[in-house]
Chain A
Amino acid sequence: MKVGRRIIVNVPTGAPDMALALEMPLLINAPQDDRTALTPLIDSAARGDKTAFEQIMVHSEQRVMAMTWRMLGNEADARDAAQEVFLRVYKYLGRFRRDQDFFAWLYGITMNVCRDFLKKRQTDTARFVSFGDEVNKSAFEIATEEADAESLAVRSQQRELIAKAIAALPFKERASIVLRDVEGLSTEEVAEIMKSSATTVRSQISSARKKIRTYCQQHLRGFSGGEAR
């Protein structure tokens, strides 16, 4: 989801009861004020304040759910993983160093949880559920700024294609590409989260992008500016 992109959501009753402007600014690149706003909440939650911890969850749940969904491929697993992420956050909040970036630390925990989930499933690839199923389940109709239905269908198909391509990647390549290309983190930040070196991360990103390109070539007719199959 691009930063600043506005999505209008119509509820099933028909009346536009709410218009959600979904913006997911990256706190890592955010002004210092946003990050420091979490500091008192973190301090309180570390002392056992559940209300403060709930506030931390509200601030970060969308980010965590998005990450777990991208890594695991379906809502059920993403929800379970996100729950486990917050349980671990509460447990290890005392170990969080105040000079660290909170969201980088949070991403690290999220990656570990996703890895454990996949180990339990004894697989390395995500169990991707088609976008169509997920959208129908929530019963929302999403209208983007591009009102053209055909363009919408093409974009939807492309999104699904990319989701499948990323789901097919091995865990480390998938994590690197999501953190680097989707979340927009630098190679060094990704290396810190993955507990790896920048060279290794670059190598994983390169390999992931090659595979995604190959997948798109095979499944998108007229790939490279052409129409979708």
Chain B
Amino acid sequence: MNCQQVEELLPLYAGRDLDVKSAASVEAHIQTCAACAKAANEYDEAFQLTQQFAPPVFSEGVYAGMRQRVLRELQSQQRTPAWTQTIVGLFRPRLSWAVASVLLIAVSLFALYFVMKRGSVRKDLAKAASSNQRSDPQDGRQAAPPSPEKRREHSLANVHQDGSKKRRKTSVARMNDRTANSQNSVAARQQVPPRKLSEPVVLQPFEVDASGETMRVEMQTKDPNIRIIWFSQPNVKPSLPNSKGI
């Protein structure tokens, strides 16, 4: 071992912190090297002085005062209700708790936002569907208000007529025009799964007002994407309610 290596190990040697082999090597070296022996003595003295590093003698009054203050503080903490302590504890500077709280709040806000947005989209769809009942962009006509004496409970559709005067019949199944108001139908398609061709469609019964003019009849199936429209001559009664299939 050379002097440089021994110099590095002397602080640990002085405090008996070296393993047996290293301590023996250092011991052997300082026996032969005066400079390292002097350094070892200095380290030993500093170590002994450190061991005697004693605080001043504090009086019993200091200790008694400290105990009283601690007990007083504990009593005042006890008087505070537990829930306030919990809330105060949440705001103590603890990074992990702060981060967890922020994340939780952020996730809750996102979830709330998405739920509300979904609700508003559904409302928009319903509004669009009801506005389609009143207007037909294809032939540019406005739907006539329904006749109050012929209105039934589950009325869903209008009967459109060519000509000036319109009379709406109640309890007529309504079909949405696929080409009219493409946005709503796209939204509706997204909301409602497509009907299988094998599934039968039940058409609601309806009445026809034969006023001598060509009539435009619309029927809405259960699938909001499918609406049946046809034009019929007067005095021609459409299919009876029991007919099925499209």
Q: Which positions in A face B, CB cutoff 8 Å?
A: 1-2, 7, 9, 20, 22, 50, 53-54, 57-58, 61-62, 65-66, 69-70, 75, 78-79, 82-83, 86-87, 90, 131, 134-135, 138, 140, 142, 155, 158-159, 161-163, 166, 177-178, 180-182, 187, 202, 205-207, 209-210, 212-213, 216-217, 223-225
Contact = CB atoms under 8 A, between A and B. Distances in A.
B111 interface: no
Interface residues of B, number: 34
A50 B71 contact: yes
A75 B56 contact: yes
A159 B12 contact: no
A66 B55 contact: yes
A182 B116 CA distance: 66
A28 to B, nearest CB: 16
A53 B68 CA distance: 12
A90 B38 CA distance: 49
Contacts of B50: 162, 166, 177, 181-182, 209, 212
Interface of A is mostly: helix
Given A50-B74, A181-B51, A202 B45 contact: no
Contacts of A50: 71, 74
Contacts of A53: 74
24 contacts: A20-B57, A50-B71, A65-B62, A79-B66, A83-B69, A83-B70, A86-B67, A87-B73, A87-B74, A90-B74, A138-B57, A142-B57, A162-B50, A182-B51, A205-B12, A205-B17, A207-B11, A209-B11, A209-B14, A209-B50, A212-B46, A216-B46, A223-B45, A224-B41
Among B55, B59, B67, max chain A CB count under 10 A is at B55
A178 B66 CA distance: 23
Contacts of A224: 38, 41-42, 45
B239 interface: no
B58 interface: yes
B32 interface: no
A196 B56 CA distance: 30
